Protein backbone atom coordinates (compact mmCIF):
# COMPACT_ATOMS: atom_id res chain seq x y z
CA UNK A 1 0.00 0.00 0.00
CA UNK A 2 2.84 2.37 0.88
CA UNK A 3 4.53 1.54 -2.42
CA UNK A 4 1.31 2.40 -4.28
CA UNK A 5 1.02 5.80 -2.61
CA UNK A 6 4.68 6.46 -3.34
CA UNK A 7 4.09 5.72 -7.04
CA UNK A 8 1.08 8.06 -7.14
CA UNK A 9 3.02 10.82 -5.41
CA UNK A 10 5.96 10.48 -7.78
CA UNK A 11 3.61 10.50 -10.78
CA UNK A 12 1.91 13.68 -9.58
CA UNK A 13 5.27 15.27 -8.89
CA UNK A 14 6.41 14.40 -12.40
CA UNK A 15 3.31 15.96 -13.90
CA UNK A 16 3.82 19.08 -11.83
CA UNK A 17 7.44 19.37 -12.91
CA UNK A 18 6.72 18.85 -16.61
CA UNK A 19 3.84 21.32 -16.49
CA UNK A 20 5.52 23.82 -14.21
CA UNK A 21 6.55 26.21 -17.00
CA UNK A 22 3.13 26.39 -18.62
CA UNK A 23 1.27 26.53 -15.33
CA UNK A 24 3.60 29.18 -13.99
CA UNK A 25 3.36 31.29 -17.16
CA UNK A 26 -0.41 31.35 -17.37
CA UNK A 27 -0.74 31.92 -13.63
CA UNK A 28 1.84 34.71 -13.62
CA UNK A 29 0.23 36.43 -16.62
CA UNK A 30 -3.35 36.37 -15.38
CA UNK A 31 -4.82 39.87 -15.11
CA UNK A 32 -6.59 40.16 -11.78
CA UNK A 33 -7.76 43.77 -12.08
CA UNK A 34 -7.36 46.74 -14.41
CA UNK A 35 -7.03 50.34 -13.21
CA UNK A 36 -10.08 52.36 -14.15
CA UNK A 37 -12.45 49.41 -14.17
CA UNK A 38 -14.02 48.00 -11.01
CA UNK A 39 -16.97 45.76 -12.02
CA UNK A 40 -16.24 42.03 -12.28
CA UNK A 41 -15.69 40.63 -15.76
CA UNK A 42 -17.29 37.49 -17.15
CA UNK A 43 -14.11 36.39 -18.91
CA UNK A 44 -10.49 35.64 -18.07
CA UNK A 45 -7.64 37.66 -19.51
CA UNK A 46 -3.89 37.25 -19.53
CA UNK A 47 -1.05 39.52 -20.61
CA UNK A 48 2.73 39.50 -20.60
CA UNK A 49 5.84 38.70 -22.59
CA UNK A 50 6.76 35.40 -24.21
CA UNK A 51 10.42 34.97 -25.08
CA UNK A 52 11.54 33.53 -28.42
CA UNK A 53 14.01 30.61 -28.41
CA UNK A 54 15.61 31.71 -31.70
CA UNK A 55 17.15 34.67 -29.88
CA UNK A 56 18.21 32.65 -26.82
CA UNK A 57 15.08 34.09 -25.21
CA UNK A 58 16.36 37.68 -25.41
CA UNK A 59 13.59 38.76 -27.81
CA UNK A 60 10.14 39.03 -26.28
CA UNK A 61 6.76 39.64 -27.88
CA UNK A 62 4.00 41.12 -25.75
CA UNK A 63 0.51 39.67 -25.96
CA UNK A 64 -2.92 40.18 -24.40
CA UNK A 65 -5.31 37.23 -24.41
CA UNK A 66 -9.02 37.88 -23.87
CA UNK A 67 -10.86 34.62 -23.40
CA UNK A 68 -14.41 33.89 -24.38
CA UNK A 69 -17.16 35.22 -22.18
CA UNK A 70 -18.40 32.71 -19.63
CA UNK A 71 -21.93 33.86 -20.47
CA UNK A 72 -21.61 32.22 -23.88
CA UNK A 73 -23.59 29.08 -24.57
CA UNK A 74 -20.62 26.73 -24.85
CA UNK A 75 -18.16 25.79 -22.12
CA UNK A 76 -15.36 28.29 -21.72
CA UNK A 77 -12.41 26.03 -22.45
CA UNK A 78 -13.73 23.44 -24.84
CA UNK A 79 -13.56 23.94 -28.59
CA UNK A 80 -14.16 27.67 -28.99
CA UNK A 81 -11.79 29.04 -31.65
CA UNK A 82 -8.73 31.18 -31.14
CA UNK A 83 -8.65 34.40 -33.19
CA UNK A 84 -5.32 36.17 -33.63
CA UNK A 85 -5.69 39.92 -34.28
CA UNK A 86 -2.92 42.01 -35.85
CA UNK A 87 -3.06 45.73 -36.52
CA UNK A 88 -1.23 47.28 -39.45
CA UNK A 89 0.96 50.33 -39.59
CA UNK A 90 3.20 48.60 -40.47
CA UNK A 91 4.63 49.46 -37.08
CA UNK A 92 1.43 49.80 -35.03
CA UNK A 93 0.44 47.94 -31.89
CA UNK A 94 -2.43 45.46 -31.83
CA UNK A 95 -3.39 46.89 -28.44
CA UNK A 96 -4.83 49.77 -30.44
CA UNK A 97 -7.27 47.28 -31.89
CA UNK A 98 -7.97 45.95 -28.41
CA UNK A 99 -8.99 49.33 -26.98
CA UNK A 100 -10.40 51.15 -30.01
CA UNK A 101 -12.00 48.42 -32.12
CA UNK A 102 -12.87 44.90 -31.02
CA UNK A 103 -11.65 44.37 -27.46
CA UNK A 104 -13.86 44.31 -24.36
CA UNK A 105 -12.88 47.81 -23.17
CA UNK A 106 -12.86 51.36 -24.50
CA UNK A 107 -10.80 54.07 -22.79
CA UNK A 108 -12.75 57.16 -21.72
CA UNK A 109 -11.40 60.76 -21.56
CA UNK A 110 -10.83 60.42 -17.80
CA UNK A 111 -8.84 57.19 -18.46
CA UNK A 112 -11.49 54.94 -16.97
CA UNK A 113 -12.64 51.90 -18.92
CA UNK A 114 -16.06 51.29 -20.42
CA UNK A 115 -17.27 47.86 -21.58
CA UNK A 116 -17.56 47.48 -25.32
CA UNK A 117 -20.86 45.74 -26.15
CA UNK A 118 -19.50 44.80 -29.59
CA UNK A 119 -16.39 42.97 -28.32
CA UNK A 120 -15.40 39.94 -30.34
CA UNK A 121 -14.82 37.69 -27.33
CA UNK A 122 -18.50 36.79 -26.93
CA UNK A 123 -17.96 33.36 -28.47
CA UNK A 124 -14.28 33.46 -29.44
CA UNK A 125 -10.93 33.82 -27.68
CA UNK A 126 -9.07 36.85 -29.00
CA UNK A 127 -5.27 37.04 -28.95
CA UNK A 128 -3.65 40.43 -29.50
CA UNK A 129 0.09 40.38 -30.24
CA UNK A 130 2.38 43.40 -30.55
CA UNK A 131 4.55 42.68 -33.57
CA UNK A 132 7.23 43.12 -34.84
CA UNK A 133 9.86 43.52 -32.14
CA UNK A 134 10.15 47.14 -31.07
CA UNK A 135 6.41 47.84 -31.38
CA UNK A 136 4.54 48.64 -28.18
CA UNK A 137 5.84 46.59 -25.26
CA UNK A 138 7.59 44.02 -27.49
CA UNK A 139 11.35 44.33 -27.17
CA UNK A 140 14.05 44.88 -28.03
CA UNK A 141 14.01 46.70 -31.33
CA UNK A 142 15.90 44.71 -33.93
CA UNK A 143 19.30 46.33 -34.45
CA UNK A 144 19.43 45.69 -38.20
CA UNK A 145 16.85 47.43 -40.36
CA UNK A 146 17.29 44.63 -42.88
CA UNK A 147 15.57 42.28 -40.44
CA UNK A 148 12.41 44.35 -40.60
CA UNK A 149 10.64 42.52 -43.37
CA UNK A 150 7.40 40.61 -43.59
CA UNK A 151 9.00 37.15 -43.73
CA UNK A 152 11.06 37.82 -40.60
CA UNK A 153 7.99 39.10 -38.81
CA UNK A 154 5.95 36.05 -39.85
CA UNK A 155 8.70 33.70 -38.66
CA UNK A 156 8.78 35.34 -35.24
CA UNK A 157 4.97 35.19 -34.95
CA UNK A 158 4.97 31.49 -35.83
CA UNK A 159 7.61 30.93 -33.16
CA UNK A 160 5.50 32.95 -30.73
CA UNK A 161 2.43 30.79 -31.37
CA UNK A 162 4.42 27.65 -30.59
CA UNK A 163 5.47 29.19 -27.26
CA UNK A 164 1.92 30.40 -26.64
CA UNK A 165 0.49 26.89 -26.94
CA UNK A 166 3.08 25.64 -24.49
CA UNK A 167 2.04 28.35 -22.04
CA UNK A 168 -1.68 27.76 -22.64
CA UNK A 169 -1.95 24.06 -23.50
CA UNK A 170 -5.76 24.09 -23.46
CA UNK A 171 -5.63 25.82 -26.87
CA UNK A 172 -3.79 22.91 -28.50
CA UNK A 173 -5.88 21.51 -31.33
CA UNK A 174 -8.22 24.52 -31.42
CA UNK A 175 -9.27 26.16 -34.67
CA UNK A 176 -7.19 29.25 -35.43
CA UNK A 177 -8.27 32.23 -37.50
CA UNK A 178 -5.74 34.94 -38.32
CA UNK A 179 -7.29 38.39 -38.64
CA UNK A 180 -6.10 41.96 -39.06
CA UNK A 181 -6.36 45.12 -41.12
CA UNK A 182 -4.45 47.57 -43.29
CA UNK A 183 -0.75 46.63 -43.58
CA UNK A 184 -1.66 43.27 -42.07
CA UNK A 185 -2.70 42.59 -45.65
CA UNK A 186 1.02 42.27 -46.38
CA UNK A 187 2.23 40.14 -43.49
CA UNK A 188 -0.80 37.92 -42.80
CA UNK A 189 -0.29 36.01 -46.09
CA UNK A 190 3.36 35.49 -45.09
CA UNK A 191 2.26 34.29 -41.65
CA UNK A 192 -0.37 31.95 -43.09
CA UNK A 193 2.24 30.51 -45.45
CA UNK A 194 4.60 29.81 -42.54
CA UNK A 195 1.84 28.28 -40.42
CA UNK A 196 0.91 25.94 -43.27
CA UNK A 197 4.56 24.99 -43.66
CA UNK A 198 4.80 24.35 -39.91
CA UNK A 199 1.75 22.09 -40.03
CA UNK A 200 3.18 20.24 -43.04
CA UNK A 201 6.57 19.67 -41.35
CA UNK A 202 4.94 18.26 -38.23
CA UNK A 203 2.03 16.44 -39.86
CA UNK A 204 3.32 13.02 -38.86
CA UNK A 205 4.62 13.71 -35.36
CA UNK A 206 3.06 14.37 -32.00
CA UNK A 207 3.88 18.08 -32.15
CA UNK A 208 1.04 18.60 -34.62
CA UNK A 209 -1.46 17.67 -31.91
CA UNK A 210 0.12 20.28 -29.66
CA UNK A 211 -0.48 23.14 -32.09
CA UNK A 212 -3.50 25.04 -33.35
CA UNK A 213 -5.40 24.07 -36.49
CA UNK A 214 -5.35 26.90 -39.01
CA UNK A 215 -8.81 27.24 -40.56
CA UNK A 216 -8.72 30.58 -42.34
CA UNK A 217 -7.88 34.26 -42.32
CA UNK A 218 -9.75 37.55 -42.62
CA UNK A 219 -8.22 40.93 -43.53
CA UNK A 220 -9.91 44.32 -43.59
CA UNK A 221 -8.95 47.10 -46.02
CA UNK A 222 -5.77 45.19 -46.83
CA UNK A 223 -2.68 46.71 -48.40
CA UNK A 224 -1.89 43.96 -50.90
CA UNK A 225 -0.31 45.22 -54.11
CA UNK A 226 1.19 48.72 -54.21
CA UNK A 227 0.56 49.22 -57.92
CA UNK A 228 -3.10 48.20 -57.89
CA UNK A 229 -3.84 49.85 -54.55
CA UNK A 230 -2.12 53.13 -55.43
CA UNK A 231 -3.61 53.52 -58.89
CA UNK A 232 -7.09 53.41 -57.33
CA UNK A 233 -6.20 56.02 -54.71
CA UNK A 234 -7.18 59.28 -56.46
CA UNK A 235 -9.97 57.61 -58.39
CA UNK A 236 -11.71 57.15 -55.06
CA UNK A 237 -11.09 60.80 -54.16
CA UNK A 238 -12.71 61.94 -57.40
CA UNK A 239 -15.71 59.59 -57.33
CA UNK A 240 -16.45 60.59 -53.73
CA UNK A 241 -16.41 64.33 -54.31
CA UNK A 242 -13.11 64.99 -52.56
CA UNK A 243 -11.34 66.58 -55.54
CA UNK A 244 -12.61 68.51 -58.56
CA UNK A 245 -13.05 67.10 -62.03
CA UNK A 246 -10.40 69.54 -63.27
CA UNK A 247 -7.82 68.26 -60.77
CA UNK A 248 -8.63 64.65 -61.61
CA UNK A 249 -8.37 65.31 -65.34
CA UNK A 250 -4.97 66.93 -64.79
CA UNK A 251 -3.78 63.89 -62.84
CA UNK A 252 -4.97 61.56 -65.59
CA UNK A 253 -3.14 63.62 -68.19
CA UNK A 254 0.13 64.06 -66.28
CA UNK A 255 0.23 60.53 -64.86
CA UNK A 256 -0.29 58.80 -68.17
CA UNK A 257 1.09 55.44 -67.11
CA UNK A 258 0.31 52.95 -64.38
CA UNK A 259 3.88 53.15 -63.11
CA UNK A 260 3.72 56.93 -62.63
CA UNK A 261 0.36 56.81 -60.89
CA UNK A 262 1.52 53.99 -58.63
CA UNK A 263 4.68 55.93 -57.74
CA UNK A 264 3.19 59.32 -56.95
CA UNK A 265 -0.25 58.49 -55.53
CA UNK A 266 -1.05 56.36 -52.51
CA UNK A 267 -0.89 56.50 -48.74
CA UNK A 268 2.80 57.28 -48.35
CA UNK A 269 3.58 58.65 -51.81
CA UNK A 270 6.17 61.46 -51.85
CA UNK A 271 4.33 63.57 -54.41
CA UNK A 272 5.19 66.75 -52.50
CA UNK A 273 8.95 66.13 -52.83
CA UNK A 274 9.16 65.84 -56.61
CA UNK A 275 8.87 68.27 -59.52
CA UNK A 276 7.70 65.60 -61.95
CA UNK A 277 4.48 66.73 -63.71
CA UNK A 278 2.63 63.72 -62.30
CA UNK A 279 3.76 64.52 -58.76
CA UNK A 280 2.80 68.19 -59.21
CA UNK A 281 -0.69 67.22 -60.42
CA UNK A 282 -1.20 64.76 -57.55
CA UNK A 283 0.02 67.35 -55.05
CA UNK A 284 -2.46 69.89 -56.41
CA UNK A 285 -5.30 67.38 -56.12
CA UNK A 286 -4.36 66.44 -52.56
CA UNK A 287 -4.16 70.12 -51.64
CA UNK A 288 -7.72 70.50 -52.90
CA UNK A 289 -8.79 67.63 -50.66
CA UNK A 290 -7.38 69.54 -47.66
CA UNK A 291 -5.65 66.50 -46.21
CA UNK A 292 -4.37 68.53 -43.26
CA UNK A 293 -7.86 68.52 -41.77
CA UNK A 294 -9.12 65.28 -43.30
CA UNK A 295 -9.26 61.99 -41.46
CA UNK A 296 -8.61 59.74 -44.44
CA UNK A 297 -9.69 56.58 -42.64
CA UNK A 298 -13.29 57.82 -42.80
CA UNK A 299 -15.07 61.09 -43.39
CA UNK A 300 -15.23 62.15 -39.74
CA UNK A 301 -13.62 64.86 -37.60
CA UNK A 302 -9.94 64.63 -36.78
CA UNK A 303 -8.86 64.50 -33.15
CA UNK A 304 -9.18 67.93 -31.55
CA UNK A 305 -6.96 67.35 -28.53
CA UNK A 306 -4.65 70.15 -29.65
CA UNK A 307 -7.40 72.69 -29.04
CA UNK A 308 -8.71 71.29 -25.80
CA UNK A 309 -11.79 69.45 -27.05
CA UNK A 310 -12.50 65.75 -26.72
CA UNK A 311 -14.55 63.22 -28.60
CA UNK A 312 -14.65 59.94 -30.47
CA UNK A 313 -11.79 60.63 -32.89
CA UNK A 314 -9.40 60.93 -29.92
CA UNK A 315 -9.87 57.46 -28.49
CA UNK A 316 -6.40 56.43 -29.69
CA UNK A 317 -4.93 59.29 -27.64
CA UNK A 318 -6.79 58.07 -24.57
CA UNK A 319 -5.48 54.55 -25.18
CA UNK A 320 -1.90 55.79 -25.36
CA UNK A 321 -2.35 57.73 -22.13
CA UNK A 322 -3.99 54.77 -20.39
CA UNK A 323 -1.29 52.25 -21.33
CA UNK A 324 1.38 54.75 -20.35
CA UNK A 325 0.28 54.66 -16.72
CA UNK A 326 2.52 52.89 -14.27
CA UNK A 327 -0.39 51.17 -12.51
CA UNK A 328 -1.62 49.73 -15.80
CA UNK A 329 1.82 48.46 -16.79
CA UNK A 330 2.15 46.69 -13.46
CA UNK A 331 -1.33 45.17 -13.83
CA UNK A 332 -0.53 43.72 -17.27
CA UNK A 333 2.89 42.45 -16.17
CA UNK A 334 5.04 44.81 -18.18
CA UNK A 335 6.73 46.23 -15.09
CA UNK A 336 7.65 45.10 -11.65
CA UNK A 337 6.59 47.39 -8.84
CA UNK A 338 9.89 49.30 -8.71
CA UNK A 339 10.68 49.59 -12.45
CA UNK A 340 10.47 52.76 -14.51
CA UNK A 341 7.38 53.36 -16.62
CA UNK A 342 7.71 52.25 -20.24
CA UNK A 343 6.89 54.96 -22.84
CA UNK A 344 4.24 53.04 -24.78
CA UNK A 345 3.28 54.40 -28.20
CA UNK A 346 0.57 53.17 -30.54
CA UNK A 347 2.84 53.26 -33.61
CA UNK A 348 6.58 53.33 -34.26
CA UNK A 349 7.12 55.48 -37.34
CA UNK A 350 10.72 54.36 -37.83
CA UNK A 351 9.63 50.73 -38.01
CA UNK A 352 6.87 51.69 -40.43
CA UNK A 353 9.49 53.38 -42.62
CA UNK A 354 11.68 50.27 -42.49
CA UNK A 355 8.89 47.87 -43.39
CA UNK A 356 6.90 49.82 -45.95
CA UNK A 357 7.76 48.92 -49.54
CA UNK A 358 10.00 46.02 -48.47
CA UNK A 359 7.23 43.94 -49.98
CA UNK A 360 5.62 45.40 -53.10
CA UNK A 361 2.98 42.70 -53.49
CA UNK A 362 1.79 39.53 -51.78
CA UNK A 363 -0.35 38.42 -54.71
CA UNK A 364 2.21 35.72 -55.64
CA UNK A 365 1.51 34.07 -52.26
CA UNK A 366 -2.24 33.77 -52.71
CA UNK A 367 -2.34 30.85 -55.18
CA UNK A 368 -0.47 28.70 -52.66
CA UNK A 369 -2.79 29.76 -49.84
CA UNK A 370 -6.01 29.39 -51.81
CA UNK A 371 -5.10 26.11 -53.47
CA UNK A 372 -3.82 24.41 -50.34
CA UNK A 373 -5.31 20.99 -49.74
CA UNK A 374 -6.55 22.19 -46.38
CA UNK A 375 -8.96 24.57 -48.21
CA UNK A 376 -8.71 27.63 -46.01
CA UNK A 377 -11.64 30.00 -45.66
CA UNK A 378 -10.70 33.54 -46.64
CA UNK A 379 -12.59 36.78 -46.01
CA UNK A 380 -11.42 40.06 -47.50
CA UNK A 381 -13.53 43.05 -46.49
CA UNK A 382 -13.52 46.80 -47.11
CA UNK A 383 -15.08 49.71 -45.30
CA UNK A 384 -16.55 51.59 -48.25
CA UNK A 385 -15.78 54.99 -46.67
CA UNK A 386 -12.06 54.29 -46.41
CA UNK A 387 -10.02 56.55 -48.68
CA UNK A 388 -6.65 55.06 -47.66
CA UNK A 389 -6.95 51.51 -48.97
CA UNK A 390 -10.19 51.75 -50.87
CA UNK A 391 -12.51 49.05 -52.11
CA UNK A 392 -11.80 49.83 -55.77
CA UNK A 393 -8.23 48.60 -55.64
CA UNK A 394 -9.16 45.61 -53.49
CA UNK A 395 -11.83 44.45 -55.92
CA UNK A 396 -9.35 44.77 -58.77
CA UNK A 397 -6.64 42.60 -57.27
CA UNK A 398 -9.23 39.93 -56.47
CA UNK A 399 -11.12 39.92 -59.76
CA UNK A 400 -9.01 41.22 -62.64
CA UNK A 401 -6.26 39.58 -64.65
CA UNK A 402 -3.75 42.04 -63.20
CA UNK A 403 -4.52 40.45 -59.83
CA UNK A 404 -5.75 36.99 -58.90
CA UNK A 405 -8.43 36.80 -61.57
CA UNK A 406 -10.69 34.62 -59.43
CA UNK A 407 -13.96 33.25 -60.76
CA UNK A 408 -17.22 34.48 -59.25
CA UNK A 409 -19.28 31.66 -57.73
CA UNK A 410 -21.97 33.73 -55.97
CA UNK A 411 -22.73 37.06 -57.60
CA UNK A 412 -22.72 40.49 -55.98
CA UNK A 413 -25.61 41.00 -53.56
CA UNK A 414 -26.54 43.00 -50.50
CA UNK A 415 -26.01 41.61 -47.02
CA UNK A 416 -27.89 42.70 -43.92
CA UNK A 417 -26.89 42.94 -40.29
CA UNK A 418 -28.78 41.57 -37.29
CA UNK A 419 -30.51 44.96 -37.09
CA UNK A 420 -32.11 44.23 -40.49
CA UNK A 421 -30.26 47.20 -41.97
CA UNK A 422 -28.23 47.13 -45.17
CA UNK A 423 -24.70 46.36 -43.99
CA UNK A 424 -22.89 46.22 -47.32
CA UNK A 425 -22.42 43.99 -50.34
CA UNK A 426 -20.75 40.64 -50.81
CA UNK A 427 -19.50 38.36 -53.56
CA UNK A 428 -18.07 34.85 -53.34
CA UNK A 429 -15.26 33.48 -55.49
CA UNK A 430 -13.78 30.09 -56.14
CA UNK A 431 -11.07 28.66 -53.90
CA UNK A 432 -12.86 29.72 -50.72
CA UNK A 433 -12.48 33.51 -50.91
CA UNK A 434 -15.33 35.88 -50.04
CA UNK A 435 -15.23 39.63 -50.52
CA UNK A 436 -17.54 41.95 -48.56
CA UNK A 437 -17.98 45.68 -48.21
CA UNK A 438 -19.19 47.30 -45.00
CA UNK A 439 -21.45 50.26 -45.64
CA UNK A 440 -20.31 53.50 -44.01
CA UNK A 441 -17.22 51.95 -42.41
CA UNK A 442 -13.78 53.49 -42.57
CA UNK A 443 -10.29 52.04 -42.51
CA UNK A 444 -10.88 50.46 -39.08
CA UNK A 445 -14.15 48.66 -39.72
CA UNK A 446 -14.75 47.35 -36.15
CA UNK A 447 -14.34 50.91 -34.82
CA UNK A 448 -16.71 52.60 -37.24
CA UNK A 449 -19.36 49.91 -37.78
CA UNK A 450 -18.94 47.72 -34.70
CA UNK A 451 -22.24 45.82 -34.86
CA UNK A 452 -21.92 44.87 -38.51
CA UNK A 453 -18.24 44.00 -38.04
CA UNK A 454 -19.11 41.69 -35.14
CA UNK A 455 -21.88 40.01 -37.12
CA UNK A 456 -19.63 39.63 -40.17
CA UNK A 457 -16.75 37.99 -38.29
CA UNK A 458 -19.02 35.64 -36.32
CA UNK A 459 -20.75 34.56 -39.53
CA UNK A 460 -17.34 33.98 -41.09
CA UNK A 461 -16.10 31.83 -38.20
CA UNK A 462 -19.29 29.97 -37.23
CA UNK A 463 -21.32 30.08 -40.46
CA UNK A 464 -24.38 32.08 -41.47
CA UNK A 465 -26.95 29.76 -39.91
CA UNK A 466 -25.15 29.75 -36.57
CA UNK A 467 -24.69 33.52 -36.33
CA UNK A 468 -28.34 34.10 -37.27
CA UNK A 469 -29.32 32.22 -34.11
CA UNK A 470 -27.19 34.45 -31.89
CA UNK A 471 -28.42 37.58 -30.14
CA UNK A 472 -26.76 40.92 -30.79
CA UNK A 473 -26.66 44.32 -29.09
CA UNK A 474 -28.59 47.19 -30.64
CA UNK A 475 -26.55 49.36 -32.99
CA UNK A 476 -26.16 52.58 -30.98
CA UNK A 477 -24.66 54.30 -34.01
CA UNK A 478 -28.02 54.16 -35.77
CA UNK A 479 -30.58 53.95 -32.98
CA UNK A 480 -28.85 56.06 -30.34
CA UNK A 481 -29.91 53.82 -27.48
CA UNK A 482 -26.81 54.27 -25.35
CA UNK A 483 -26.82 56.10 -22.04
CA UNK A 484 -24.79 59.10 -23.12
CA UNK A 485 -23.38 60.65 -26.24
CA UNK A 486 -20.36 62.93 -26.23
CA UNK A 487 -20.01 65.40 -29.06
CA UNK A 488 -17.51 68.08 -29.95
CA UNK A 489 -18.21 71.58 -31.14
CA UNK A 490 -16.57 72.39 -34.47
CA UNK A 491 -16.03 75.96 -33.33
CA UNK A 492 -12.40 76.49 -32.36
CA UNK A 493 -13.46 79.03 -29.74
CA UNK A 494 -15.87 76.59 -28.13
CA UNK A 495 -13.94 73.91 -26.27
CA UNK A 496 -16.79 72.45 -24.27
CA UNK A 497 -17.80 68.82 -24.53
CA UNK A 498 -21.42 68.59 -23.40
CA UNK A 499 -22.98 65.22 -22.69
CA UNK A 500 -26.55 64.69 -23.79
CA UNK A 501 -28.96 61.99 -22.65
CA UNK A 502 -30.12 59.71 -25.40
CA UNK A 503 -33.62 58.55 -26.02
CA UNK A 504 -34.66 55.73 -23.70
CA UNK A 505 -37.79 53.61 -23.99
CA UNK A 506 -39.62 55.67 -21.40
CA UNK A 507 -39.02 58.80 -23.48
CA UNK A 508 -41.03 57.20 -26.26
CA UNK A 509 -43.84 56.20 -23.88
CA UNK A 510 -44.00 59.72 -22.44
CA UNK A 511 -44.10 61.39 -25.83
CA UNK A 512 -46.77 59.04 -27.14
CA UNK A 513 -48.85 59.72 -24.01
CA UNK A 514 -48.48 63.49 -24.45
CA UNK A 515 -49.47 63.26 -28.11
CA UNK A 516 -52.48 61.08 -27.27
CA UNK A 517 -53.71 63.43 -24.52
CA UNK A 518 -53.21 66.46 -26.75
CA UNK A 519 -55.16 64.79 -29.55
CA UNK A 520 -58.07 63.91 -27.25
CA UNK A 521 -58.15 67.44 -25.82
CA UNK A 522 -58.12 68.99 -29.29
CA UNK A 523 -60.97 66.76 -30.48
CA UNK A 524 -63.00 67.56 -27.37
CA UNK A 525 -62.35 71.28 -27.83
CA UNK A 526 -63.46 71.16 -31.45
CA UNK A 527 -66.70 69.42 -30.51
CA UNK A 528 -67.45 71.94 -27.74
CA UNK A 529 -66.77 74.84 -30.07
CA UNK A 530 -69.05 73.37 -32.75
CA UNK A 531 -71.84 72.81 -30.23
CA UNK A 532 -71.60 76.40 -28.93
CA UNK A 533 -71.71 77.86 -32.43
CA UNK A 534 -74.62 75.74 -33.67
CA UNK A 535 -77.54 78.13 -32.64
CA UNK A 536 -75.84 81.10 -34.32
CA UNK A 537 -75.38 79.24 -37.60
CA UNK A 538 -78.93 77.91 -37.40
CA UNK A 539 -80.31 81.46 -37.06
CA UNK A 540 -78.40 82.57 -40.12
CA UNK A 541 -79.60 79.60 -42.10
CA UNK A 542 -83.21 80.17 -41.06
CA UNK A 543 -82.95 83.81 -42.04
CA UNK A 544 -81.88 82.80 -45.49
CA UNK A 545 -84.52 80.18 -45.98
CA UNK A 546 -87.17 82.66 -47.17
CA UNK A 547 -87.63 82.90 -50.95
CA UNK A 548 -85.54 85.54 -52.72
CA UNK A 549 -87.58 87.81 -54.99
CA UNK A 550 -85.32 87.00 -57.96
CA UNK A 551 -85.79 83.27 -57.53
CA UNK A 552 -89.51 83.76 -56.88
CA UNK A 553 -89.97 85.36 -60.23
CA UNK A 554 -87.86 82.73 -61.89
CA UNK A 555 -89.86 79.89 -60.50
CA UNK A 556 -93.34 81.31 -60.68
SS (H, E, C) 180-236: EECCHHHHHHHHHHHHHHHHHHCCCCHHHHHCCEEEEEEEECCCCEHHHHHHCHHHH
Q: Which fold has domain 24-224+348-486?
A: Rossmann fold (3.40.50)
Q: How confident is the model at residue 268 (pLDDT cuts 50, 70, 90)?
A: confident
Q: How confident is the model at residue 271 (pLDDT cuts 50, 70, 90)?
A: confident
Q: Which helix (H) or strand (E) holds 71?
A: none
Using CA of residue 411, residue 412, residue 414, residue 415, what is the dihedral sign?
positive
How large is the average pLDDT for residues 297-326? 65
Over residues 88-144, the pLDDT tens digits come to: 887 899 999 999 999 999 999 999 999 999 999 999 999 999 998 889 999 877 666
User: What does the DSSP 8-state code read for residue 139?
Assistant: B
pLDDT of res. 508? 57
Closest CA to 127 of 44, 202, 51: 44
pLDDT of res. 455? 98
pLDDT of res. 551? 36
Cα gap 1→404, rounded to integer Å: 70
Return the active site residues: 182, 386, 443
Q: How confident is the model at residue 509 (pLDDT cuts 50, 70, 90)?
A: low
pLDDT of res. 489? 29
pLDDT of res. 297? 55
Residue 213 has pLDDT above 70, yes or no: yes
pLDDT of res. 534? 52
Quickly list H helices, 277-403: 277-288, 315-323, 326-331, 349-355, 366-370, 391-399
How large is the average pLDDT for residues 499-518? 60
Domain ranges in the chain are 24-224+348-486, 228-307, 505-555
| Per-chain mean pLDDT for the chain | 81
- Angle between helix 2-18 and 20-28 (nearest 10): 60
How large is the average pLDDT for residues 489-493? 33
CB burial class (10 A; 0-12, 13-18, 19+) of residue 319?
A: buried
pLDDT of res. 507? 57
pLDDT of res. 488? 30
- Which is higher by pLDDT, 124 or 491? 124
Closest CA to 351 of 49, 130, 155, 65: 130
pLDDT of res. 480? 30
Cα gap 137→131, rounded to integer Å: 9
pLDDT of res. 144? 62
pLDDT of res. 229? 95
Over residues 415-465, the pLDDT tens digits come to: 999 999 999 999 999 999 999 999 999 999 999 999 999 999 999 999 999
Residue 536 has pLDDT above 50, yes or no: no
- Angle between helix 277-288 and 245-254 (nearest 10): 160
Given a contact cutoff of 8 angstroms between Cβ atoms, the answer to whether 344 and 336 are in contact is: no
Over residues 351-376, the pLDDT tens digits come to: 766 666 667 899 999 999 999 877 89
Q: 177-191, 300-314, 362-376: which has the highest mean pLDDT?
A: 177-191
Q: What is the secondary structure of 232-292 as a DSSP string?
A: THHHHHHHTTSS-HHHHHHHHHH--SHHHHHHHSSTT--GGG--SHHHHHHHHHHHHTTGG
User: What percent of the chain is predicted at pLDDT more than 70?
Assistant: 74
Q: How confident is the model at residue 542 (pLDDT cuts 50, 70, 90)?
A: very low
- Angle between helix 150-167 and 20-28 (nearest 10): 100
Residue 194 has pLDDT above 90, yes or no: yes
Amino acid sequence: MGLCWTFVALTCLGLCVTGQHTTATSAAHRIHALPGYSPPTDFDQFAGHLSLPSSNHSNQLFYWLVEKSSNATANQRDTSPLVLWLNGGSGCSSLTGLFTELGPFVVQPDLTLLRNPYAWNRHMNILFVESPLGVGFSAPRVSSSADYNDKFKAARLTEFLVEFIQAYPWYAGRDLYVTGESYAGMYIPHLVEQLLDHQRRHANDSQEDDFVQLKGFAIGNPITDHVIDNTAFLEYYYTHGMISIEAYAQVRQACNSTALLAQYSGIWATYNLSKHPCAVAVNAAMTEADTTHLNRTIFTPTCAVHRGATGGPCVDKYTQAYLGQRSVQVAIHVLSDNADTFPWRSCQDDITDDLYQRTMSVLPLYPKLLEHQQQLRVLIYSGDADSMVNFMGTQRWISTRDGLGLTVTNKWKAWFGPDKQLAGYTQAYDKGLTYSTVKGAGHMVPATRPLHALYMIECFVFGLEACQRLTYPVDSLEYLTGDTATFVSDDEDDETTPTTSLIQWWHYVTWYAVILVATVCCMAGIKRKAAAAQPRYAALNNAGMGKHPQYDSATS
